[in-house]
Structure 1
Amino acid sequence: MRATHRRRRPASQLPPLKPVLIVLHQEHSTSGRVGRLLQARGHALDIRKPRYGDPLPQTMADHAGAVIFGGPMGANDPDDFIKTEIDWIGTCLREDAPFLGICLGAQMMAKHLGARVYTHGEGRAEVGYYKLDQTDHGRLHATEAGFAWPDTVYQWHRDGFDCPTGAECLATGGDFPVQAIRAESRCYGIQFHPEVTPAMMCRWSIRGHERTLMPGAQLRHMHLDGWYQYDPAIRLWLDGFLDHWLKAPAEAASV
């Protein structure tokens, strides 16, 4: 019998990639560099703001992943939209859909999983660039996934969280020991802000100037200096992380 060869369809005939759900918390918030890199990979951004009445999907079947970003509010706040987002994270966990919680989003994920979310006992904050240390789980994960974690990252928070039971702590820090976690195989929470751009950094440090004066925080000029020193490694990590995060389960398992 003569062998037949199936011709690969050209890219123009491939189905479009699913959008990524982007959850933001302020009227003028943006997804920053994370959003731009997702779009560069061919994903549209489905931007929703539950704080202003936008609904969240009942399933992740129509989305390639979801990112909940940060904000000035806290995961322990009593607002209805905070509870709605915390509860909704269960959708991603149940379906093992790609989920990334950044700062507030990570704290929401930890709270959903039953962990403590807390304000530092001495009123300290991490605002600026701080060292990040990988755990054994983090080193193993980085090796398997094929990317290196940055050793210094940009932070903007005064709340922290404990590692939930059943999750892995991938990275630790100083005043807030838990800096990155993974639950299931594709759900991550990170305290730091890889999405930040120089414009975002300037806006945050001007509008939130009082945060730069808190115990443990760094003054505004140190943020801008740190960008040139530390951001190249953060960008490399983010590129590798997003490629790994967006892989289909079969692809990720084969890495």
Structure 2
Amino acid sequence: MQSADHGWTSVLVVGPAVAGLLLLVVFTVVEARFANQPMMPLRLFRIRGVAVGNLMLLLFGGITIAMWYFTSLFLQNVLGYSALGAGLGQTPAAVMFVVIARWAAALLPRTGVRPLVLAGSVCFLAGFGWLAQAHAGSGYVTSVLGPTLLIAVGIGLTFPTLMAAATADVPERDAGIIGGLANTASQIGGSVGLAVLATVADARAATEAGGSSPAAALAAGYDLVFLVAAGLGLAIAVVGLLLPRHRRG
């Protein structure tokens, strides 16, 4: 995929994301003002865990897009991997995520949410900061495998933790609604994150295109995406401080 293709990618993802946000605003207004029996009672956002947890899941969605989607693009468009090779290159991180997520889910009742969120955010900062140093001449093991394993640890620590935070302290009658809301928040975060990050990558690649090779220009765009993702990890840590210190999964 060349820089022009990246431009089309930005157009294709930004339009639906903006339309989705507008529809979300309309839905919220209708639920708040006109619905006698709203599908999504806004009163539930008065529960701190619901509001804070879903905000963190929105940010988390952008992190997962940066990890799985843009790392795959880096492997293919910068390092020259095939689609199959890129998938295999991400397999160790996928395995790491599964292992850590199972461990975090078992650990959560003893530690509570905040320590695991903060530990995951440290992994995001370190992993994406490391990944942002990759360039067209980088090797897979030192520039991609190492940081993606670290990021996968962060994802494994935070995903079950954020789901627990977003669904805790909810009345039993509303458990189904809140569970659906938590999943939707992560998906919306991913969609908006894809739109924003694709635009960021395309703009940076276009800026670098004049004085660099196509691969180097694309690498610069992806590196900026990874730095933005590190910032999202920091934002999750800051928002996580709003959760009660005593919260357990």
| Structure in which a larger fraction of residues adopt helix | 2
| Structure in which a larger fraction of residues adopt strand | 1
Establish whether TM, by shorter chain, passes 0.5.
Answer: no
- The bucket for the TM-score relative to the shorter chain is under 0.3
Greater relative CO (CA pairs within 8 A, separation 6+): 2
TM-score normalized by the length of structure 2: 0.25
TM-score normalized by the length of structure 1: 0.24
